[in-house]
Amino acid sequence: QVQLVQSGGGLVQFGGSLRLSCGAPGFTLDYYTVVWFRQAPGKEREGLSCISNSDSTFYADSVKGRFTISRDNTKNMVYLQMNSLKPEDTAVYYCATALGGIYYWWRPSEFDYWGQGTQVTVSS
């Protein structure tokens, strides 16, 4: 069983920055693709950014140029650096991974394991 543990998030002003972290105690994350999603109230879960097991990165248009995904294999962590935050970025953010192949990284249904979620609130 894979457990993803998130940290970071909180309240930030418009234009500010936050960093989210995703770890997996007892599981080697660097062998697997990890994706960050978010879900705002009343909206579907949205795929934001993906880092593959070969460290290729992909971004949704809504965050391209503002968010950066990275991993630190020495710490077994994946990060999402979020800059130039806007009120519309307010949501619960999740990291996710899967043991099998992933064809459409932006689809929540591709993923087996999820972090507990962390609230990000951007004030105007």
Residues 6+ away with beta carbon under 8 Å from 7: 20, 21, 23, 118
Confidence of residue 101 (pLDDT cuts 50, 70, 90): confident
Q: Share the mean pLDDT of the chain.
A: 96
Q: Which pLDDT tens digit goes with each residue over 38-86?
A: 999 999 999 999 999 999 999 999 999 999 999 999 999 999 999 999 9
Residue 28: is it exposed, middle or buried by C-beta count within 10 angstroms (0-12/13-18/19+)? exposed
**CA pseudo-torsion sign 23, 103, 62, 113:** negative
> pLDDT band at residue 4, thresholds of 50, 70 and 90?
very high
